[in-house]
């Protein structure tokens, strides 16, 4: 099973894969949400490096830009903004959930093994993005091939996703604006123009205890 | 083991390593020299002298400061999160230096003994996206420094900076898309080659991308947290912002270095994407690669000077002005620029 000579790429793969698994475990083992988020970022970056090993630099870079650079920044931002401290143990509330974990875990492991067996029986035709004799639009994981399939074969799901995202944006705006009218007025008053126009008498409020 | 070594192209590796060291040294030296130039230039603008005691014209001031950073006592605040406080400067500095491998200083140069050598460490077909990915990671250093210090000022600085960088990263990327559409490539070297027309003056800033350049420039200054968008470290309200608790030790030096290398990166990106990289008038840079190198560094130097110039002349934005400007002015303009570029792309080529 174990090959006698190991190539440089295999050593890289093994190291990176081990790091990814360790970081992934760390996500669920950490109690402090910020450590979990950081572990997730490590996992995502290592996965990007694995994509590089598969000669798919475009996907690797997108992985970092979209997940590590945008989504996780928002996660970390929210964790800091809400100042979430260490998670309290909630075993009493979700006592029965833990019995669900073993069967789900076994199902996942079984799925992985099925996929591996399927791939071993029918190796897919992988075309490297780096091989020079292939047109970039045909190779797997290049910017051209992804754009091609995104705007031809998968154009409907792609557009649907953008409509969904637009709906989410509008929804978020609506929720954020639903504060009481007085509050909005108070905030608006605090804004620039009003500050300048204030009379001297308005500048200080005395609060009686 | 020997097979393992044989499987790697040793000449390629050695060449790449030497180039990486050179780029790394450039990255290390740029904060030192930039710091001295900035202090002297600011002094000139503000009608005073600036550092002039250490060495001729105070040239060694930065080196003296660097030595001070090295030997100063390293204090970790008791309340700080030790782990993150130490990790933050490292996280800030590593992506900043990692961008260096795609800096395209020039095309090719004929070195004695070595033959033709490319003036970049590597090129690949998504290099521009790689730069954006690495600069988007730069934010974690600031955010972690702000959170890990466990101080109000630091936390506010970190939060402000993450909000600011998320907002301006959008317009920055969208401003680049216009130029990408025009070049038809994400490879930095290819983008520069596309601008070699018109006697070396076919720069994208002149050809259909002046608006994109302006948006890029403003977003880049906001992205690197410099005046007039230096709200994450606004002294008058936040003391030092995210680096308040970093007491001039080596950790502070690393945060400082990351900021300056990021400035270098966005300056190089502006040069490459909008100002024609190593292309320039009067000579054919293919025959005189050294002139191309000179053009390149002149343009980058101009942007670095611009940073100082702005710092010496402009007041700081207020926070709500910053957000309004980013989301309500720059972002729509960047989208408009993409539409214009796409229309030009359809009709002009």
The least confident of A30-44, A60-74, B26-40, B245-259 is B245-259
Cα B76 to its chain centre, rounded Å, is 29
Cα B114 to its chain centre, rounded Å, is 30
Q: Structural domain of residue B274, as residue ranges?
A: 80-100+123-348
Phi, psi of B119 (to 5 degrees): -95, 35
Which pLDDT value is given to residue B11? Answer: 73
Does a structural domain hold residue B61?
A: no
Does a structural domain hold residue B176?
A: yes
Q: Out of A11, A64, A129, whose CB is closest to B137?
A: A64
CB contact under 8 A, A76 and B143: yes
* Residue B129 Cα, gap to closest chain A Cα (Å): 6
Non-local CB neighbours of B182 within 8 Å, separated by 6+ positions? B194, B204, B207, B208, B209, B341, B344, B345
Q: Which helix (H) or strand (E) holds B117?
A: strand B115-119
d(CA B12, CA B5) in angstroms, rounded, equals: 12
CB contact under 8 A, B132 and A80: no
What tokens were used for B54?
């250490």
Cβ atoms of residues A56 and B124 within 8 Å: no
Q: Is the pLDDT of residue A140 over 80?
A: no
Q: What's the full length of chain A, in residues? A: 209
**Diameter over CA atoms, chain B:** 65
Which pLDDT value is given to residue A192? Answer: 56
Does a structural domain hold residue B136?
A: yes
Does a structural domain hold residue B197?
A: yes
Which pLDDT value is given to residue A109? Answer: 93
Q: What is the mean pLDDT of residues A91-95?
A: 63
* Residue B69 Cα, gap to closest chain A Cα (Å): 28
d(CA A96, CA A117) in angstroms, rounded, equals: 34
Mutate to test the interface with B, among A71, A73, A172, A192 (most CBs of B within 10 A): A73
Query: Structural domain boundaries of chain A?
Result: 7-85
Provide the pairing of β-strand B106-111 with B115-119. Answer: antiparallel
Q: Whose CA is closest to B307, among B224, B243, B234?
A: B224
More confident residue, A130 or B176: B176
Which pLDDT value is given to residue A194? Answer: 59
Per-residue pLDDT of chain B (349 residues; tens, 9 = 90+): 455 555 556 777 888 888 899 999 988 888 888 888 888 888 888 888 888 888 888 888 888 888 888 888 888 888 888 888 888 889 889 999 989 888 888 887 877 777 778 888 888 888 899 999 888 888 888 888 888 888 888 888 888 888 888 888 889 999 999 888 888 888 888 888 888 877 777 788 887 888 989 999 999 998 888 878 887 777 767 777 778 878 767 888 888 888 899 999 999 999 998 888 888 887 777 778 888 888 888 999 999 899 889 888 888 888 888 888 989 999 999 999 999 988 888 887 6
Q: Out of B125, B133, B162, whose CB is closest to A142?
A: B125
Task: Please state which of the four CATH numbers 3.40.50.150, 1.20.120.1200, 3.40.640.10, 3.40.50.720 is assigned to the domain occupying A7-85.
Answer: 1.20.120.1200
* Residue B159 Cα, gap to closest chain A Cα (Å): 7
d(CA B229, CA B315) in angstroms, rounded, equals: 9
User: How high is the ipTM of this complex?
Assistant: 0.82
d(CA A142, CA A136) in angstroms, rounded, equals: 7
Q: What is the count of structural domains for chain B?
A: 1
């Amino acid at each position: 099973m174990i090959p006698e000579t190991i190539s440089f790429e295999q050593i890289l793969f093994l190291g990176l894969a081990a790091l990814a698994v360790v970081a992934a475990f760390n996500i669920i083992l950490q109690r402090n949400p910020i450590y979990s988020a950081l572990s997730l970022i490590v996992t995502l970056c290592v996965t990007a490096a694995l994509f590089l090993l598969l000669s798919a630099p475009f996907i690797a870079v997108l992985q970092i830009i979209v997940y590590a650079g945008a989504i996780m920044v928002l996660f970390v931002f929210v964790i800091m903004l809400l100042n979430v401290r260490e998670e309290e143990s909630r075993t009493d509330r979700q006592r029965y959930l833990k019995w669900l974990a073993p069967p789900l875990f076994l199902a996942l492991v079984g799925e992985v093994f099925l996929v591996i067996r399927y791939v071993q029986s029918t190796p897919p035709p992988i075309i490297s993005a780096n091989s020079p004799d292939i047109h970039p639009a045909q190779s797997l994981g290049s910017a051209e091939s992804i754009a091609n399939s995104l705007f031809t074969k998968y154009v409907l799901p792609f557009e649907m996703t953008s409509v969904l995202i637009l709906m989410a944006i509008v929804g978020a705006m609506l929720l954020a604006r639903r504060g009481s009218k007085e509050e909005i007025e108070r905030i608006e008053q605090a804004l620039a123009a009003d500050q300048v126009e204030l009379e001297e008498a308005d500048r200080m409020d005395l609060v009686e205890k | 083991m020997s097979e393992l070594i044989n499987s790697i192209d040793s000449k390629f590796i050695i060449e790449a390593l030497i180039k990486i060291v050179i780029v790394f040294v450039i990255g290390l030296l740029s904060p030192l020299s930039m710091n001295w130039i900035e202090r002297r230039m600011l002094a000139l603008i503000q009608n005073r002298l600036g550092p002039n005691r250490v060495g001729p014209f105070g040239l060694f001031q930065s080196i003296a400061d660097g030595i001070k950073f090295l030997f100063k006592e390293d204090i970790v605040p008791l309340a700080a999160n030790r782990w993150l406080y130490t990790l933050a400067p490292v996280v800030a500095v590593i992506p900043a230096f990692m961008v260096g491998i795609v800096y395209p200083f020039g095309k090719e140069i004929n070195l004695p003994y070595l033959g033709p050598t490319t003036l970049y460490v590597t090129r690949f077909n998504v290099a521009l996206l790689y730069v954006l990915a690495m600069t988007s990671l730069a934010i974690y250093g600031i955010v972690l420094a702000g959170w890990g210090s466990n101080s109000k000022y630091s936390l506010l600085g970190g939060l402000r900076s993450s909000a600011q960088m998320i907002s301006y990263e959008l317009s920055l990327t969208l401003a680049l898309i216009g130029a990408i559409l025009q070049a038809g490539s994400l490879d930095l070297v290819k983008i520069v080659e596309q601008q070699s027309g018109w006697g070396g003056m076919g720069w994208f800033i002149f050809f259909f991308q002046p608006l994109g350049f302006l948006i890029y420039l403003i977003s880049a200054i906001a992205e690197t947290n410099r005046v007039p968008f230096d709200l994450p470290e606004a002294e008058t309200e936040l003391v030092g912002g995210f680096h308040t608790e970093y007491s001039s030790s080596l950790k502070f030096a690393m945060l400082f270095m990351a900021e300056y290398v990021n400035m270098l990166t966005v300056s190089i990106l502006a040069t490459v994407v909008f100002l024609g990289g190593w292309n320039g008038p009067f000579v054919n840079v293919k025959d005189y690669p050294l002139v191309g190198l000179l053009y390149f560094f002149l343009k980058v130097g101009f942007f670095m000077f611009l940073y100082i110039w702005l710092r010496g002349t402009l007041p700081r934005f207020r926070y709500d002005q910053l957000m309004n400007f980013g989301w309500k002015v720059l972002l729509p303009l960047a989208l408009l620029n993409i539409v214009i570029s796409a229309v030009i792309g359809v009709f002009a080529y």
